[in-house]
Chain A
Amino acid sequence: MDVSYEKRTLDNGLDVIVHEDHGCPIVAVNIWYHVGSKNERPGRTGFAHLFEHLMFQGSEHHDAVYFHPLQEAGGALNGSTNADRTNYWEVVPPGAVERALWMESDRMGYLLPALTAEKFRTQRDVVLNERRENYENRPYGLASMALVAAHYPATHPYHWPTIGAPADLRAASLDDVREFFTTYYHPANASLVLAGDIVVSDALRLAEHYFDEIPAGPAIAPVVPPPVQAMDGHPPLVLEDRVEFPRLYLSWPSPALHAPGDAELDLLADILGGGASSRLHRALVHDRSIATDVSVGQGSRELAGLFTIVATVAPGHTLTELDTVISVEVDRIAVDGPTDGELERARARVESDFVQRQQTVGGFGGKSDQLNAYNVFVGTPGYFVSDFDRYSRADRNAIKAAATSYLMPKRRIALSVVPVGSATVALAGSTCVNAS
């Protein structure tokens, strides 16, 4: 469970973390910038992610698409943006580590000279197509946007989705790119991990060689969200979409990542909705056949979380039936807590998931990505065991207490997603929301 590592902070503020794993002849290079859509402002939503695309379009000393030199080296590479951070990674053979570091450091230090209006326009079109493919033209694809918009006030950094609004993407300018880069893309706002078939001393020397020359940037004030008023009975919402069956989303404000209650709600989510023997799967899908599927998750982020239950209505049944059964089950576990058997299984699954994630050094979710996540969010790259301990400590009472204090009916927002023209099948009294 423990992952050995060495960490050094360069003079310019860049954290460098190295983990040796010689199981496979590959090295993961993984870099996090502590910037995401939460750092955007209303009117320019979607910008952090659009910016991520530009990071692959070339830098001053390699003014061409970043894929060629790395694919030619047998590398895989990608990046992603969420509300809290942006990550970039390469998985390369040991002989290509220097090339990956050269390129990562070049786009950290020298991106802007290679920026052109044409690159910007093309990538904006690509992102608009990404939005169409993954959200607009996908069943239920707009539900998550409607939920965050309802939970957080308009000035809250989690109010908008990371993919952004099309009008905002079209309004973005080259000046926005320059300002964003200058503000957020510098060593002191970044964390670099090298993991895999490499020795610590070589890795540290190479990281220093390529990144030391990049000047430290301006200090960044932490994002302080405006206070969110505790809900006291929110009217239910309805969203029409091109779907066959209505689906119910129930979500409650919940603890932020690693905050007290976060692990308890993770375990609770598994007990309620993880796999065929979970309570809600049994109650809705197996025993009553009133739903076709159900899933439950504690989606915790840096500033706040949302605990969400999602279930789709089986033909011949109603959203109200689902709501009734789900409410009974949530109440029941808040009163009685989980059984010993349920807790044992949920903990075994957590252990197995931890081990599972440690099988890979690179890519999304591999060890290099986890070391960076811990470093950026808790300041300790090797937080694995402490993280796991949160789940070992969460006993039946703690889980019950979390259910009681967070999953109160008056704190939830219910969203019905229904077929176009069928708003009447939504939960009674629902207000129409528009998302596009």
Chain B
Amino acid sequence: MVTDRTKLPVLGVDPQFRFPGVERRMLTNGVRLWSVDHRHTSLFTLLLLIPSGSAADPLARPGLAALTADLLDEGSGDRSGIEFHEALGRIGGHFRTEVTSDATLLSVTALARHANEAIALLVEVVTRPLFATSEFTRVRDLRLHRLTQLRQVPAVVAERAYLETLYGAHPYGHLAIGTDTSLRALTTEDVAAFHAEHYAPSRWTLIAVGGGEGAEMRGLADQLLDSVPVSPSADAAPPSPHGPPAPPPPRDRLVFIPRVGAVQSEIWIGHLGATRRTVDYHALLLMNMVLGGQFVSRLNLNLREDKGYTYGTRTVFDCRLGRGPFTFQASVQTSATADAIRQVVREISDIRDKRPVTPAEVAMGCAALTRGFPRNFETAGQIAVAVAKLALFDLPPNYFSEFVRRVAAVDVAEVTRVASVYLKPEKLVAVVVGSRAEVLASLSNLGFGEPVQH
């Protein structure tokens, strides 16, 4: 049979997606243990969610949450950090830490036949870290060196200035790694105090994903009951799904940071976005798909596919417990800097009124989000992170199973409405990291006022 090449094959009906069941237990020591029976792999993933991240840093001490997490595996219980990593190596394990603004995520992934040892190792570093002065100084110094190296990474230079411009002295106004001044001032006492306050087992949600049957998961629960002490603050308030209040309006609108010899300009543009629990979340996701959230979005097609200014662009609503940023980001060739900024402002403005989303764009964005949804839940690690979001943002248990229906229910009018409510061209701030000689003079007439130089 000859292939019909006059038209693309029509799409078949997709199987209905069902998020795997999450079994929730509340242990008597206050630990929430959530498990998912995922037998598709011989790996076991244990993820611990601590609902405190860089936003919990004292305002004058940015970097404390991340430094604390970084020190957990540098000596714990009767083991040195090296001995911990040797034990981890024997079970084919990986230990990862991630500090976001709202949370600290700690995980061990290992071969499933070593699940008990994986649990023991994670519990040990979290409940019995030593925070020895020698290790503290060494790791703190490594973080200081990292800060120095990051001065040459345009995206990080831009992100730091962007967050400072947008949020100022606000829990979301700094990078998790902190600042040179702050890291130099921190002490082991600060770290121990942060750990005592934020890592109490009553604040844990432990997420286990693996091939365990019910009985094995009960065994896991018993092991956790035996090894995790009831903390003094076990009766402390459970984690709250509320974030910090919004900051006052920014003082500067356009910040320029010179980079000698830069062949591209790193550009970050945006303003305050939304909280994760906004009722408009699904409509915002869809609107962002059209604007800049996928390859075929307006901004990427304009700046990359039409003009060839850049390798790629993106926009994102980083929805957090509090109002996270709405951000456009791209690295563009130096000569195109001013025009790229003009195009971004125009696209953000036009999608609100002059060129509102079309039914075809909404249908495309919706299909990409819904039909492609199952592939986000293939691996144990992906499932664990998804479950952690349920816990952190206090989303309903059926959240993922309802996702497709919720997105499909958003119509064109709704997308246009959230575009006009959540996008505010007059409130945009911009940060540019690039060549002073070639770029600075071109930034004065973009509607942002005179650039402020850092």
Contact = CB atoms under 8 A, between A and B. Distances in A.
Given A75-B372, A126-B311, A61 B6 contact: yes
A43 interface: no
B337 to A, nearest CB: 12
B149 A292 contact: yes
Contacts of B310: 126, 129, 133
Interface string B293-324: 01110000100111111110000000000000
From A62, A125, A213, residue with most partner B Cβ within 10 Å: A125
Given A26-B374, A286-B82, A277 B89 contact: yes
A95 B82 contact: no
A23 B40 contact: yes
A326 B11 CA distance: 57
A8 interface: no
Contact of A213 (B2, B42, B364, B378): B2
A3 to B, nearest CB: 13
A351 B112 CA distance: 12
From B151, B259, B311, residue with most partner A Cβ within 10 Å: B311
Interface residues on B, range: 35 or more
Contacts of B3: 102, 105, 209-210, 213
Interface in A271-289: 275-277, 282, 285-286, 289
Interface string B44-65: 0000000000000000000000
B378 to A, nearest CB: 5
A277 B416 CA distance: 54
Contacts of A12: none
A98 B7 CA distance: 12
B92 A67 contact: no
A176 interface: no
A24 B375 contact: yes
A124 B309 CA distance: 11
Contacts of A312: 149
B81 A352 contact: no
Interface in A86-105: 91, 93-96, 98-99, 102-103, 105
B128 interface: no
Given A74-B371, A275-B85, A68 B333 contact: no
Given A67-B295, A93-B371, A26 B378 contact: yes
Interface stretch (A183-191, A303-311, A356-364, A376-384): A356-364
A26 B377 CA distance: 11
Given A99-B11, A210-B3, 11 more contacts: A71-B368, A122-B305, A243-B152, A275-B88, A275-B89, A276-B73, A286-B82, A286-B138, A312-B149, A351-B111, A352-B93
Given A292-B149, A348-B89, A359 B263 contact: no
B389 interface: no
A349 interface: yes
B316 to A, nearest CB: 17
Nearest to A345: B89
Contact of A137 (B5, B331, B370, B381): B331
A139 B85 contact: no
Nearest to A106: B5
A98 B9 contact: yes
Nearest to B39: A23
Contact of B263 (A25, A110, A132, A345): A132
A71 to B, nearest CB: 5
B309 A129 contact: yes
A341 B86 contact: yes
Contact of B149 (A67, A103, A244, A361): A244
A359 B1 contact: no
B246 interface: no
A93 B91 CA distance: 35
A359 B378 contact: yes
A289 B377 CA distance: 41
A129 B86 contact: no
A87 to B, nearest CB: 18
B248 interface: no
Contacts of A289: 138, 141
Interface string A63-95: 001011101111110000000000000010111
B367 A129 contact: no
Given A132-B333, A139-B153, A359-B380, A65 B374 contact: no
B260 to A, nearest CB: 7
B175 interface: no
Interface residues of A, number: 80
Interface string B112-146: 00000000000000000000000000100110011
A121 interface: yes
B111 to A, nearest CB: 5
From A126, A242, A351, residue with most partner B Cβ within 10 Å: A126
A280 B189 CA distance: 31
A73 B86 contact: no
A404 interface: no
A289 B142 CA distance: 9
Given A26-B378, A352-B110, A360-B379, A245 B149 contact: yes
B399 interface: no
A240 B1 CA distance: 61
A91 B311 CA distance: 22
From A95, A245, A289, residue with most partner B Cβ within 10 Å: A95
B264 A133 contact: yes
B410 interface: no
A73 B367 contact: yes
B451 interface: no
21 contacts: A24-B374, A26-B375, A65-B296, A73-B367, A93-B14, A99-B11, A102-B8, A126-B305, A133-B331, A137-B154, A137-B264, A244-B149, A244-B151, A286-B138, A292-B145, A348-B89, A348-B111, A352-B92, A353-B92, A355-B92, A359-B380
B17 A25 contact: yes
Interface string B72-113: 010000000110011011111110000000000000011100
Contacts of B88: 275
A430 interface: no
B153 to A, nearest CB: 6
B145 A95 contact: no
A315 interface: yes
B364 A72 contact: yes
B398 interface: no
B43 interface: yes
B152 A244 contact: yes
Interface string A12-46: 00000000000111100000000000000000000
B342 to A, nearest CB: 18
Given A99-B9, A102-B9, A352-B92, A76 B146 contact: no
Nearest to A211: B3
A132 B309 CA distance: 11
A314 interface: yes
